[in-house]
A and B are shown apart, each in its own frame.
Chain A
Amino acid sequence: MEILFKLFASFFKIGAFSFGGGYAMLPLIKKEIIEVHGWLTNAEFIDILAISEMTPGPIAINSATFLGYRVSGVVGSILATAAVVLPSFIVMSIITHFLSKFKDSQFTDWFFIGIRPIVLGLIASAAISVALDAFIDLKSVILGIVLFYIVTFKKLNPIYAIILAGLLGIILY
């Protein structure tokens, strides 16, 4: 029972403080799930990320469902998924209801101008923390750099990039 409560609280927090889309919430998920509660290892977390990239839906939802299942089965997955979207539901309903007031508020504008560079930093830190676990030898570093190049400049679809990397994994290791 206690673990379910912790699971709910963790994902509620993740949902409430995730600004700037999927990757920006990775450091917070990592903090809550790995550093605070130790529910997953780093490697498992990255594997779940990879699966999230290849399946439909927002990463936040995917990882909540996955981790919830890991921690306590189907009940856990329902609870974690509900918890991660609950803040969105509350905030969006309130905002939609009182739209005009929020829209014209200078304070809201300033707040979001202020978090923009923070969000970029969060995403960059996600790249580094994943790299620390993913780069285990020279082969993996080269693979990462080559894929970065193809995805960024040759516009390879991320799904194909992951499939390609998986095949290369079988060949290289």
Chain B
Amino acid sequence: MLFDMFKTFFKIGAFTIGGGYAMIPIIQKEVVDNKKWVEEDKFLDAIAIAQGSPGPIAVNISIYLGYELKGLKGALTCMLGTILPSFLIILLIATVFFQFRNNPLIEKVFLGVRPAVVALIASAVYKLTKRSKLGLNKLFISLLTLLAIVFLKISPIYLILIGGFTSIIYNRMKTEDNK
């Protein structure tokens, strides 16, 4: 069973290009539809919790499912399965990357690629802004966050903690007022 779990998550890790969110439907297909290891609603729980926890979402989901199936051992197995493919591939690329980086042709390739990275991130910002339906007040907070990072160089850690705890205090006061 453990080996089967490892194999499944290794496959998921090896074939999902494009980051965490691209992996969710593939994990679902393997784990819920093919292997029938968990029910659909359990999987939805896994997504919700994985999103709310720190770290890459695909890694979080694999830890959650592994733990559900086989406790700590299962969690470790599934996590290793998920991260091992990217680890090995990147290691391979890294060993050659720093040798070829100063090659004039490679340099030209990367001069073109860098603006593409901007485009991809900007596209994520655009989609997220549209989809998240944050009101103007909250978008203003996003703007302040942006300015705090770009100009004041404040660590994202503080901003996350401030955002989270301010929200707890604010909502707490609001519920008290309503009583």
Contact = CB atoms under 8 A, between A and B. Distances in A.
Interface in A97-119: 97, 99, 102-103, 106-108, 110-119
B158 to A, nearest CB: 10
A114 B63 contact: no
Given A47-B101, A127-B121, A169-B108, A115 B17 contact: no
A151 B117 CA distance: 11
Nearest to A159: B17
A47 to B, nearest CB: 5
Interface in B94-146: 94-95, 97-98, 101, 105, 107-129, 132, 134, 138-139, 141-146
Given A21-B19, A53-B18, A70 B52 contact: no
Given A112-B52, A113-B171, A122-B156, A58 B86 contact: yes
Given A60-B55, A69-B91, A130 B117 contact: yes
A143 interface: yes
Interface residues of A, number: 106
A161 B168 CA distance: 41
B109 A170 contact: yes
B59 A162 contact: no
Interface centre among B115, B129, B157, B166 (most CB of A within 10 A): B115
Contact of A57 (B85, B97, B112): B85
Interface string B21-59: 101000000000000000000000100011011111111
B54 A91 contact: yes
A17 B55 CA distance: 7
A108 to B, nearest CB: 7
A88 B64 CA distance: 10
Contacts of A157: 18
A17 B116 contact: no
B13 A50 contact: no
A9 to B, nearest CB: 13
B49 A95 contact: yes
B114 A148 contact: no
B113 A169 contact: yes
Interface centre among A18, A19, A56, A89 (most CB of B within 10 A): A56
Nearest to A59: B19
Given A55-B17, A114-B165, A118-B145, A144 B119 contact: yes
Nearest to A140: B115
A151 B19 contact: no
Given A77-B87, A169-B113, A21 B57 contact: yes
Given A17-B160, A70-B98, A115-B164, A147 B111 contact: no
B110 to A, nearest CB: 5
A4 interface: no
Contact of A96 (B64, B123, B164): B64
Contacts of B168: 107, 110-111, 114
A168 interface: yes
Interface in A50-68: 50-62, 65-66
Given A88-B55, A116-B138, 18 more contacts: A21-B19, A21-B21, A23-B121, A31-B155, A31-B156, A50-B116, A57-B83, A61-B56, A61-B90, A92-B55, A115-B164, A123-B125, A128-B150, A141-B115, A148-B126, A151-B123, A172-B112, A173-B108
